[in-house]
Amino acid sequence: MRRFPSILAAALTAALLVLAGCSVQSGPELSAPDALAQAEAGQLTVIDVRTPQEWRQTGVGKGVQRLDMRHPGGPKGFIADVLANVGGDRTVPIGLLCRTGNRSGRMQRLLVDNGFTLVFNVREGMAGSSAGPGWLKRGLPVEPCARC
């Protein structure tokens, strides 16, 4: 009879460890200004994973590539397009940007799980989050996206 509580405690501990591994934080992060500076220096490919509607609403960070994470080919199509954007090299440093860092964090995990070795989440995003004020409030350069 005493074994049940210890088995239950072990099961709960295991579940908590699994859930901790599923947190939003999944890898390295960059602030929006650092992502911009590294992109301008040719050291980072920044990809905005938001939707075309969002790109039209706010514009896109200067020099940032656009790739809607809701790819018609699913995750495999998204990965293929990211590979095309970095010349097929999974070791090229990539920064992912979305509105507040949540979607970019999910895409960061997807890319790392598929062999990309240096993927940063610009967790403050375009609009800001607990990680920082965001690309827009920082006054970083934005280009309109009329053809999105």
8 belongs to a structural domain: no
User: Is 20 part of any domain?
Assistant: no
Does 94 have pLDDT greater than 60? Answer: yes
Token pair 């240096």 is found at: 118
Residue 29, domain member (yes or no): yes
Does residue 15 have a pLDDT over 80?
Answer: no
Biggest alpha carbon–alpha carbon distance for the chain: 68
Q: Residue 130 is part of a domain; what is its CATH number?
A: 3.40.250.10
Residue 7 domain flag: no
pTM above 0.75, yes or no: yes
How many domains is the chain built from?
1
Q: What is the pLDDT of residues 97-106, one digit of tens each?
A: 999 999 999 9
Q: Are 58 and 126 in contact (CB under 8 A)?
A: yes
Residue 8, pLDDT above cutoff 80: no
Alpha helices in 49-120 (DSSP H): 52-58, 74-85, 102-113
User: Domain range spanning residue 87?
Assistant: 25-143
In a domain, 75, yes or no: yes
Q: Specify if 92 maps to a domain.
A: yes
Question: Which single residue is written with the structure tokens 């403050």?
Answer: 124
Taking all residues of the chain, what is their mean pLDDT, rounded to a whole number?
A: 87
Cβ atoms within 10 Å, residue 86: 16
- Quick: pLDDT tens for 25-77: 569 999 999 999 999 999 999 999 999 999 999 999 999 999 999 999 999 99
Is 12 a member of any domain? no
The set of residues, in sequence order, having a beta carbon less than 8 Å from that of 147 and lying 6+ positions away, is none
